[in-house]
């Protein structure tokens, strides 16, 4: 098997030598270039597995080389070498398509991890065990975006309405990337009590607080080498946002009660169904953290925007939840199919899945009918003119239906609604139904 080949671009001879020696000890051959022009020439001579380039070059900017590689050699991972503390440059490089970045003075341990991950991208990747079902143009575009994002280490913000499949998109980015063989660690920021969230994310040492009977590994450490997925990001308390920013920016964490920091290596993906830009404007979310985690944003389309995928999704869930005696998917009656086509699905794919799971359970005739679907009936407009009253009426009915559906279990009801338990509790109080 031939050795991997790296292109090193830096106008400082000492840096070129340091990088070449480090990569050679990893079994990687190197070609060095001191200028943008010589780097472009070298790229035409042979196929490379990795490019490491400085930001400032005598005849141009390293970002120009990133753009050139993105256009001419899109499968080649390129990492940027930036001045220490120059986070704006690093973020700019990631937005331009860089795989990752490394700061000067160069941490050789961090460099070796980056190089290993980049070179892995040139090897065959494991096929994803999951599938994003659909053939509509929005889903085709989403597949293309996922493939591009998988080749990067940039933080990604996955946005979209509740129930659209944001965690699935994050998992696919992980499974198609260089970290696929390592852990994917999801965490729901809205489901962890405020007094425990620091310990959950960063871990703690024995005796650091009441109940800390032993050392605990946090989720950042559990995701080391892999991907940490922060769901419901908008629910994160402001004091915790400061500590999260430092962890993401410095790639170091400190366990609660520990005296020393430790380095961590994980890609951070996050998701929200809230408008973070509005939360930033109202002071509920830190602007610096928003820009640090929202280096690249991918929007997951709502089910109503991909209606032509409905038939494929219905068949998938019917095969998953209920089969006929012949082993085929339970059939839908014409009326049931028409009802599904006419329903708006405010809860998106997750709501469709819940509806069909319930229908398969209730169906006794071997053919799913309209009554088995138990679709919410369209409410008639009440006799009040205020828009907010009308919206509160709809919200109250939807929450009560979810609580009834889950047998009064509010945690499960929040999951059905696609919101955090904290958000459900707030709505129950605001709508005057907190005693239920």
Per-residue pLDDT tens digits for 308-361: 899 889 988 988 887 655 566 788 898 888 889 888 898 899 999 999 999 988
E strand or H helix that includes residue 204 = strand 203-204
Average pLDDT over the chain reads 86
Q: Is residue 242 part of a domain?
A: yes
* pLDDT score, position 325: 54
107 and 234 both lie in a single domain: no
* pLDDT score, position 328: 66
289 and 350 both lie in a single domain: no
pLDDT class of 194 with cuts at 50, 70, 90: confident
The Cα–Cα gap between 202 and 250 comes to 14
Summarize pLDDT for 103-116 with one digit per residue, the tens: 888 888 888 988 88
Calculated CA dihedral for residues 170, 415, 322, 319, nearest 10 degrees = -20
Q: Is residue 40 part of a domain?
A: yes
Q: Last residue of a domain, which of 62, 93, 120?
A: 120
Residues making up the chain, counted from first to last: 436
* pLDDT score, position 174: 94
Q: Is residue 128 part of a domain?
A: no
Q: Is residue 435 part of a domain?
A: no
Q: Is residue 32 part of a domain?
A: yes
Structural tokens at position 82 = 């930036």
**Peptide bond just before 105 cis, omega within 30 deg:** yes
250 and 360 both lie in a single domain: no
* pLDDT score, position 93: 84
348 and 408 both lie in a single domain: yes
336 and 190 both lie in a single domain: no
CATH number at residue 64: 3.40.50.2300
Domains contained in the chain, number: 3
* pLDDT score, position 166: 95
Whether the per-residue pLDDT at 84 is higher than 60: the answer is no
Summarize pLDDT for 371-396 with one digit per residue, the tens: 999 988 655 544 444 556 666 777 77
Q: Is the Cβ–Cβ distance between 60 and 43 less than 8 Å?
A: no
Q: Is residue 132 part of a domain?
A: no
How far, rounded to the nearest angstrom, does the alpha carbon of residue 101 sit from its chain's CA centroid?
A: 20
pLDDT class of 125 with cuts at 50, 70, 90: very low
E strand or H helix that includes residue 175 = helix 166-175
* pLDDT score, position 407: 77
* pLDDT score, position 299: 95
* pLDDT score, position 135: 87
* pLDDT score, position 327: 61
* pLDDT score, position 129: 41
Give the burial string for 191-205 (b: 16+ CB within 10 Å, else e). Answer: bbeeeebbbbbbbbb
- Of all residues in the chain, what percent carry a pLDDT higher than 90? 41
Summarize pLDDT for 152-184 with one digit per residue, the tens: 889 999 999 989 999 999 999 999 988 988 999
214 and 354 both lie in a single domain: no
User: pTM value?
Assistant: 0.71
Q: Which of 17-21, 31-35, 238-242, 389-393 is predicted with the least confidence, judged by mean pLDDT?
A: 389-393
Span 11-16, mean pLDDT?
Answer: 91
* pLDDT score, position 385: 47
Summarize pLDDT for 37-57 with one digit per residue, the tens: 999 999 988 889 899 999 889
316 and 184 both lie in a single domain: no
Q: Last residue of a domain, which of 299, 316, 351?
A: 299
Host domain of residue 78: 4-120
- Of all residues in the chain, what percent carry a pLDDT higher than 70? 91
Summarize pLDDT for 196-255 with one digit per residue, the tens: 899 999 999 998 888 888 888 999 999 999 999 999 999 899 999 999 999 998 889 999
pLDDT class of 131 with cuts at 50, 70, 90: confident
17 and 143 both lie in a single domain: no
E strand or H helix that includes residue 421 = helix 421-430
* pLDDT score, position 388: 61
Q: Is the Cβ–Cβ distance between 317 and 357 less than 8 Å?
A: yes
């Amino acid at each position: 098997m031939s050795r991997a080949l790296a292109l090193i671009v830096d106008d400082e001879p000492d840096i070129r030598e340091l990088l070449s020696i480090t990569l050679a000890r990893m079994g990687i051959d190197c070609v060095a270039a001191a200028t943008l022009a010589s780097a472009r020439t070298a790229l035409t001579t042979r196929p490379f597995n990795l490019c490491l380039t400085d930001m400032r070059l005598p005849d141009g900017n390293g970002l120009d080389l990133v753009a050139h590689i993105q256009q001419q050699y899109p499968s080649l991972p390129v990492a940027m070498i930036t001045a220490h503390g120059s986070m704006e440059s690093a973020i700019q490089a990631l937005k331009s398509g860089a795989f990752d970045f490394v700061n000067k003075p160069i941490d050789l341990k961090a460099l070796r991890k980056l190089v290993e991950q980049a070179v892995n991208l040139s090897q065959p990747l494991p096929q994803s065990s999951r599938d994003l079902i659909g053939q509509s143009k929005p889903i085709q575009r989403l597949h293309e975006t996922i493939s591009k994002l998988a080749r990067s280490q940039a933080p990604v913000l996955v946005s979209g309405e509740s129930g659209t499949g944001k965690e699935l998109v994050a998992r696919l980015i992980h499974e198609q990337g260089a970290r696929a063989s390592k852990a994917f660690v999801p965490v729901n920021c809205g489901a962890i009590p405020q007094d425990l969230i620091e310990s959950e994310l960063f871990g703690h040492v024995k005796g650091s607080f009441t109940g800390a009977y032993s050392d605990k590994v946090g989720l950042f450490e559990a995701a080391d080498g892999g991907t940490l997925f922060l769901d419901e990001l908008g629910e994160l308390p402001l004091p915790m946002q400061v500590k999260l920013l430092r962890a993401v920016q410095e790639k170091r964490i400190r366990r609660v009660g520990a005296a020393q920091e430790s380095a961590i290596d994980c890609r951070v993906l996050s998701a929200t169904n809230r408008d973070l830009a509005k939360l930033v404007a109202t002071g509920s979310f830190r602007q610096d953290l928003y820009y640090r985690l929202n280096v690249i944003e991918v929007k997951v389309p709502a089910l109503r925007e991909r209606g032509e995928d409905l038939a494929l999704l219905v068949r998938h869930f019917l095969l998953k939840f209920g089969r006929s005696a012949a082993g085929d998917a339970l059939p839908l009656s014409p009326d049931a199919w028409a009802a599904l086509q006419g329903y708006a699905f405010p809860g998106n794919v997750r709501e469709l899945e819940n509806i069909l799971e319930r229908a398969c359970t209730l169906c006794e005739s071997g053919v799913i009918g309209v009554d088995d679907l138990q679709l919410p009936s369209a409410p008639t407009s009440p006799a009040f003119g205020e828009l907010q009253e009308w919206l509160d009426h709809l919200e109250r009915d939807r929450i009560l239906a979810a609580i009834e559906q889950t047998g009064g279990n509010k945690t499960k009801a929040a999951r059905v609604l696609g919101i955090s338990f904290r958000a459900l509790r707030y709505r129950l109080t605001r709508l005057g139904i907190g005693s239920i």
